[in-house]
Amino acid sequence: MYRRLLTSSANTTAVLGLRILSQGIVLLVLARALGSGNYGALAALSSLAVVLGVLPNFGAGFVLLRRSHDRSAWKEVLDYSVPTTLAIGVVLAAIYTVVAPWLTGTSVSSFVVACIGVAELLIAPLAMLATYTLHADDRVPTGQFVQWLPAGMKVVAALMAWLAPAPHRLVVYATTQLFFAAIGLYIGWRITSRTHPIQLRPRAPTRSELRDGAAYVPMHLVSANPSEIDKIAGVQALGTEAGVYAAATRLMAAAVTPVMAVLLTLQPRLFRAGVESRASRRHLIRVTAAAAFACGIVAAACVAAISGAIVSILGPSFESIRQTLFWVTPVAPILALRQAAGTVLMAEGHPMVRLAFELTGTLVLLLGLVVLGRLYGLPGASAGLFIAETVMAVVGWLAILFLPRRD
């Protein structure tokens, strides 16, 4: 098992390395091009879209994983999930365009908001369906590459925005990232169709299928909140410093990305662990926890090492980011453990428990951001993040220890 785990994790890490590289380039180029004020507004809008972006699939990805042992079932899931994703995505994108500026407290043109909405609420969910199909077949590195393609194309959009005149950079980025994300989606589905030649027959989902997927929707929605909700509320709580906080936390989260290589590699095995002995299942869970914590420690060390260089790259409007990185770095191993706990709880058949602990953590994070952030600025917001992640990690792993598996 260890050799397969190491090989698959290494391949997945290589693909996730592309994600880290592309995320870093997009973050640094956009932050430098837009300045902390405009970057904070863009981060708030993008985070809201990412949170809502888990809705269009309506839990179909996790249904695919649960039925990964039955290849004939994949086509049945895709037949209803593709049209469902399109229908929900279109409606959500329209609603998002209207309400997003009000919810985030930003003043950005409707055109920019619409471009972000279509990219995150329509294109990204369709790419996720292809990713889950490949994950169900234990082709995790390929699945992650397909998921990365639309996001990876944003590097080109960020560079084009940086080259544009300063007043038009945000509009140029919004337009080009939508165009290149669509190209990435097309390439991703072409790759998936070559390895899984499924002839889709679009249809409406049955009540049973909706019920199966609906069990995962609240959990998936809330699981995105701890990583994004602080950016959404950041503009209102921190004002012009929201861009600095968003950049610092995104850099920390990007450094933790390698833990997803291990979690994604182990995810199909964790879901199928019900057929194994209790001792084997518990051993797999211990491996998951240890690997996640180790990745978090390495991520914290990397962030600390590069913090000085980040200041010179981002420019004078991000002068306070070095100190902010010092405050958020200790969150990295705790974040990794929280992500691992969520993955294990899903595989153990406790999506509502994951929903509960991540919803609790989200509320603690919002409270910390609003109270501590407004009182103490960036140090207070960082302390609120540390407290929230600690609460989620502790509650999640206590639940794993004491709750029996449900198949």
pLDDT in tens, 40-69: 899 899 989 988 998 898 888 777 777 766
How far is Cα 164 from Cα 273, in angstroms, rounded to an integer?
Answer: 52
Element (H, E) at 360: helix 351-368
Q: What is the pLDDT of residue 5?
A: 53
Closest Cα partner for 41 from 93, 92, 112? 112
Q: Is the pLDDT of residue 346 over 60?
A: yes
Least confident of 10-24, 229-243, 366-380: 10-24
If pLDDT is split at 50, 70 and 90, which confidence band does 156 have? very high
Higher local confidence (pLDDT), 345 or 215: 345
As a whole-number percent, the residues of the chain with pLDDT over 70 amount to 91
How far is Cα 255 from Cα 381, in angstroms, rounded to an integer?
Answer: 19
Q: What is the pLDDT of residue 86?
A: 93
If pLDDT is split at 50, 70 and 90, which confidence band does 9 have? low
Q: Is the pLDDT of residue 403 over 70?
A: yes
Higher local confidence (pLDDT), 68 or 114: 114
Task: List, in order, residues 6 or more apart from 63 with CB less than 8 Å away.
Answer: 77, 81, 209, 212, 213, 216
Taking a C-beta distance cutoff of 8 angstroms, is the pair 246, 228 a contact? no
Q: What is the pLDDT of residue 72?
A: 67
Taking a C-beta distance cutoff of 8 angstroms, is the pair 231, 100 a contact? no
Phi then psi for residue 219, to 5 deg, are -60, -45
- For residue 272, the 8-state DSSP code is T
| pLDDT tens, position by position, 80-105 | 888 999 999 999 999 999 999 998 88
Mean pLDDT, range 4-23, rounded to an integer = 69
Taking a C-beta distance cutoff of 8 angstroms, is the pair 246, 65 a contact? no
Least confident of 12-26, 179-193, 229-243, 292-306: 12-26
Mean pLDDT, range 100-120, rounded to an integer = 92
How far is Cα 367 from Cα 383, in angstroms, rounded to an integer?
Answer: 11
Higher local confidence (pLDDT), 338 or 205: 338
Q: What is the pLDDT of residue 221?
A: 73
Burial of 312 (0-12, 13-18, 19+ CB in 10 A): exposed
Q: Is the pLDDT of residue 275 over 60?
A: no
If pLDDT is split at 50, 70 and 90, which confidence band does 110 have? very high
Task: List, in order, residues 6 or more apart from 132 with CB less than 8 Å away.
Answer: 60, 61, 62, 64, 65, 143
Taking a C-beta distance cutoff of 8 angstroms, is the pair 111, 171 a contact? yes
Higher local confidence (pLDDT), 63 or 367: 367
If pLDDT is split at 50, 70 and 90, which confidence band does 236 have? confident
Q: What is the pLDDT of residue 171?
A: 94
Taking a C-beta distance cutoff of 8 angstroms, is the pair 105, 43 a contact? no
Task: List, in order, residues 6 or more apart from 407 with CB less than 8 Å away.
Answer: 274, 349
Tokens of 228: 């994004």
Tokens of 184: 């990435």
Tokens of 314: 């981002």
Taking a C-beta distance cutoff of 8 angstroms, is the pair 27, 250 a contact? yes
As a whole-number percent, the residues of the chain with pLDDT over 90 amount to 32
Q: Is the pLDDT of residue 8 over 60?
A: no
Taking a C-beta distance cutoff of 8 angstroms, is the pair 130, 192 a contact? yes
Mean pLDDT, range 302-307, rounded to an integer = 89
- For residue 319, the 8-state DSSP code is T
Q: Is the pLDDT of residue 225 over 70?
A: no
If pLDDT is split at 50, 70 and 90, which confidence band does 23 have? confident
Q: Is the pLDDT of residue 368 over 80?
A: yes
Tokens of 99: 């309400």
If pLDDT is split at 50, 70 and 90, which confidence band does 201 have? confident
Q: Is the pLDDT of residue 4 over 90?
A: no
Q: Is the pLDDT of residue 197 over 70?
A: no
Q: What is the mean pLDDT of the chain?
A: 84
Q: What is the pLDDT of residue 331?
A: 95
| Amino acid making up residue 77 | V
How far is Cα 141 from Cα 8, in angstroms, rounded to an integer?
Answer: 7
